[in-house]
């Protein structure tokens, strides 16, 4: 699965891993405001790696958690979703607006193959100092360069170079950041 090969999501090991993530995110979402130590402890158990000064506002959802790696100074606002069947690498000093979604999971295009239930994924890499606006969506296999901004509501379907603002559906470069 993590290698991007087709897999059966009903495999008992994968079901157990998703249940573990749901239990941990439910605990995280139930923490009191200001419970930074408890939140940190849960994130360290849930995510693959957690930098310093990381904050994720509840509610938060991920498939497995263990494939998510966030750098120092990471902040995610409420209602963020990371579907991490493959690795999601998020750099330092990144901001995710409310309702931002990052997807690595995808399905075969052929209807018969899709109906058979197999899935696959493609990793996502987000550079340093990136800001995803509210309700932005990052699709499987995308890389976003350092210092870039994804405007609110944008749907990123292709790689984003360093130092630009992208917007729209599909997201396109709107301007360079000086």
Which residue in the block uniquely carries the two structure tokens 């075969």?
108
Q: Which of 61, 67, 101, 107 is catalytic?
A: 107
Q: Is 107 a catalytic residue?
A: yes
CA distance 93 to 107: 31
* Distance between first and last Cα of the chain: 39
Tell me the DSSP string of 46-97: HSSEE-SS-EEPSSEEESSSTTEEE-TT-EE-TTEEEE-SS-EEE-TT-EE-
| β-strand partners of 144 | 126, 160
**Can you spell out the DSSP letters for 8-22?**
-TT-HHHHHHHHHHH
Catalytic residues: 107
């Amino acid at each position: 699965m993590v290698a991007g090969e087709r897999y059966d999501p009903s495999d008992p090991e994968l079901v157990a891993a998703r249940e573990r993530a749901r239990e941990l995110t439910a605990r995280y979402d139930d923490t009191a405001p200001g419970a930074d130590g408890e939140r940190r402890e849960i994130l360290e158990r849930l995510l693959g790696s957690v930098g310093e000064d990381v904050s994720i506002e509840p509610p938060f959802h991920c498939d497995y958690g263990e494939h998510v790696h966030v750098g120092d100074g990471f902040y995610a606002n409420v209602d963020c979703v990371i579907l991490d069947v493959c690795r999601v690498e998020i750099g330092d000093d990144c901001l995710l607006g409310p309702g931002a979604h990052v997807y690595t999971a995808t399905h075969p295009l052929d209807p018969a193959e899709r109906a058979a239930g197999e899935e696959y994924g493609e990793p996502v890499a987000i550079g340093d100092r990136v800001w995803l606006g509210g309700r932005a969506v990052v699709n499987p296999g995308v890389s976003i360069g350092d210092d870039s901004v994804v405007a609110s509501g944008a749907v990123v379907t292709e790689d984003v170079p360093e130092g630009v603002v992208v917007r729209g559906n599909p997201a396109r470069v709107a301007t360079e950041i000086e």
